Amino acid sequence: MTTRELIGRGWAVLSPPTDHRRYVSFPLDAVGGPTNCRLAVDRAGARHVLVPVGHGDALQAQRGSALTVEQRDLVFGGAEQSFVDVGCVRSDLYYEFDAVVQDIVDAVRDATDARQATLEVVARWRRLFGTAAVRGLSAEARRGLFAELTCLQEFAAADPALKVDSWRGPLREPHDFELMSACVEVKATGTISEAVRVHGLEQLAPDSDRLLYLAVLTVAEDPDGRTIPDLLGDLRGVVRDRAAFAGRLIAAGWSDDDPGANSRYVIGPVVVVPVSEEVPRIVRSSFTAAELPDGVGRLEYSIDRAALEPHATIASLTELATKVVK
């Protein structure tokens, strides 16, 4: 297994801690020799790579960027160890962060000073990440965030006690919302979009004990519409855990300084489909071996909206909220 494959496996099994722990971690022994590095996910869902170092002089924390660097004393397996903690707080940069992790693992494998080797790798990547931070979210990502926040607002209106933790989209999990009685996958399309883009085998795979709804929202730019900061202002007044909400926004890659913060949107037609065997989709059972063929590492496909509409049973988000929030 290559280092990149091991990194992918690690992220696939990690999820944010729900107890007192700062991180849930995955030991990352690189091909060619162990490094004792670990992948980790924090409570907000942000990703980290932990590099073991000697206690030595404390490292000054580096923040204010998509890449953060701190030194922490952490306990894994009952033993305390000092780590250089390199984190990525921008979920839209997770693909690039995998390359950062691989570079760090390769650099520290034979390094005599793991701390310095890590800092040198981070320094090389900061320019790229800084450019991405200035660029902000893509137009597609902003529409997607607007759609998810609109759904969150409807769900919170239906249940004032709704936990922010139910919003999983920023964590890149299969379903955007994991509620007690159902899951919801949200897709934002433009006014001229004729297809819905699906990522992976799990997005349209229901849990064994909960219904899955696919909510397709038409999101159009309109000078009389609302901005993402408008939605955030409303939601910050009703969510019960504002710290968790802020963490989700960080994981989604949102910044109040985003160049598209003043973009205004309206929600057009909404199509909500209860996902069943009759709905056109690709899932694990679509393959004889219930897995992707060897050599295929990522699956993305499109479904025509016209093929989904015969299966739609709900015509508004308010109606959806009454069904899924209990």
Q: What is the per-residue DSSP string for 289-318?
A: TSSPPTT----EEEEEHHHHGGG--B--HH
CB distance 252 to 191 below 8 Å: no
Q: What is the pLDDT of residues 46-102, one digit of tens each?
A: 899 999 998 766 666 676 567 889 999 888 878 888 999 999 877 777 878 888 998
Q: What is the pTM of this model?
A: 0.65
Q: What is the per-residue DSSP string for 239-269?
A: -S-HHHHHHHHHHTT--TT-TTTT--EEEEE
Where along the chain do its domains lie? 3-135, 139-324
Q: How far apart are CA 28 and CA 39, in angstroms?
A: 7
Q: What is the pLDDT of residues 1-45, one digit of tens each?
A: 677 788 888 998 998 888 888 899 999 875 556 678 999 998 888
Angle of helix 94-109 relative to helix 3-13, nearest 10 degrees, comes to: 130
> What's residue 56's pLDDT?
65
Element (H, E) at 188: strand 182-189
Residue 294 has pLDDT above 90, yes or no: no
> What's residue 321's pLDDT?
94
Q: Poorest-confidence range of 2-6, 58-62, 223-227, 275-279?
A: 58-62
β partners of residue 183: 178, 212
- Please report which confidence band the pLDDT of residue 184 belongs to, taking 50, 70 and 90 as the band edges: very high
> What's residue 129's pLDDT?
66
